[in-house]
Amino acid sequence: MTYETLGQSGLDYFPCSYEGSRLRFRGPRKQLRHEYVACLGGTETYGRFIETPFPALIEDKIGFETVNLGVVNAGPEAYLNEPGIIDLANRSEAIVLEITGAQNCSNRFYTVHPRRNDRFVHASDLMTTIFRDADFTEFHFTGHLLAELKQSAPDRFAMLVDELQSAWLGRMKTLLDKLTAPVTLLWMGENGPSDDMEATGRPQFITGSMIEQLRGMASDYAEVVFDPGPLRTEGMVFNPLEALAAGDLMGIDAHHHAARALTGPLSRHMPQT
C-alpha cells in the first residue's frame, strides 16, 4: 500500500489520472460524460485528511458532477505545465480555482518541481548571491527553505517575498487567461485578504491588492474565513505522525463553509433543469 493510496492514515484517496496529464488527483476517477464542475487548487481542494472535501460537498448541493483536480501543495504552475488538464477544465460548465500560496512558484530566485510544486529544485545565481551564506543543498522543500531564510536573513527576505508575489500573480493571470469556462476564485484562510501579510496568514504571501487584480479576470469570488481554533482537526482522519500536518489545514467545518459559499456562484453557470 502506498502513501498516496492510504496517506498512512486510513483514508483511501483513490488516486487517479486523466488523459494527457501526469498529475495524480483524488478519485474515484470521473467519466465526465455530462455537465460538470472542475475544481482546481492545492491541498485544501484535494482534501487531505478530509473524508468529504468541498468538491464532493458541492456535487451534493448543486446536483451536477464535480471533478476534484486539486493537487497537494500545488500552485498555478502545476496546471500551466498540464495543457490536458486545462482542456478538461475548459470543457466544464464552471471552474473553482483555489487561491494558493505564492511560495510554490518558480521565480528569479529559485525553481520548483513542475508537478510537485512544494519541491525546491534549484537556486539561481541571484539567490546564491543575495543569500550567499546559505547552503542550498540542505533544502528539499520550499517551506523549509523560506522558514530558514526568514530567520537567518530577515533584512533580505523582503526582496524574496516581493519576487514570489510578482511570480505568483503573473502565473495566476496566465492561468486565468487560459481558462475559458466561468471561474470562481476561492479564498480559504483564517483571515481575509489584507495588505498586511502578518494579518492575512494563509494563503501565504497573498495580499488583498493581489486578489483585487485577479477578481476582474474571474466570473465570481467566494471567500471562506474560518478559524476553528483547537477544534481544527476534529473529524479529520490521520495518524499521530500526521498530526502537525493536519493541524495546518482548514478542517471539516471550513469545507462545509466553502461548499455553501460556492453553491450560489456555481449554480448561476449550470444548466437549468
pLDDT for 19 beyond 60: yes
214 assigned to some structural domain? yes
Calculate the average pLDDT of the chain.
Answer: 92
The mean pLDDT of 5-30, rounded to a whole number, is 84
pLDDT of residue 109: 98
272 assigned to some structural domain? no
pLDDT digits (tens, 9 = 90+) for 193-214: 988 766 567 899 999 999 999 9
Choice between 134 and 7, residue whose per-residue pLDDT is larger: 134
In sequence order, the β-bridge partners of residue 185 are 97, 221
C-alpha to C-alpha distances, 113 to 117, 118, 124, 173, nearest whole angstrom: 5, 7, 14, 20
pLDDT digits (tens, 9 = 90+) for 46-92: 999 999 999 999 999 999 999 999 999 999 999 999 999 999 999 99
273 assigned to some structural domain? no
Q: How far apart are CA 144 and CA 120, in angstroms?
A: 9
pLDDT for 45 beyond 50: yes
Tell me the percentage of the chain whose pLDDT exceeds 90.
83
Domain that holds residue 37: 3-267
pLDDT of residue 200: 61
Choice between 5 and 190, residue whose per-residue pLDDT is larger: 190
pTM, full prediction: 0.93
16 assigned to some structural domain? yes
pLDDT for 100 beyond 70: yes
pLDDT digits (tens, 9 = 90+) for 106-122: 999 999 999 999 999 99
Residue for grid cell 481554533: 229
Confidence of residue 273 (pLDDT cuts 50, 70, 90): low
pLDDT for 233 beyond 50: yes
Number of domains composing the chain = 1
pLDDT of residue 229: 77
Amino acid at 34: H
User: What residues contact residue 220 under an 8 Å CB cut-off, 6+ apart?
Assistant: 182, 183, 184, 185, 265, 268
Confidence of residue 2 (pLDDT cuts 50, 70, 90): very low
98 assigned to some structural domain? yes
Q: Long-range contacts made by residues 158-162, C-beta under 8 angstroms, separation at least 24? A: 159/130, 160/109, 160/130, 161/197, 161/205
27 assigned to some structural domain? yes
| CATH number, position 120 | 3.40.50.1110
3-state secondary structure of 240: helix
Total Cβ atoms within 10 A of residue 177: 9
207 assigned to some structural domain? yes
Confidence of residue 231 (pLDDT cuts 50, 70, 90): confident
Tell me the percentage of the chain whose pLDDT exceeds 70.
95
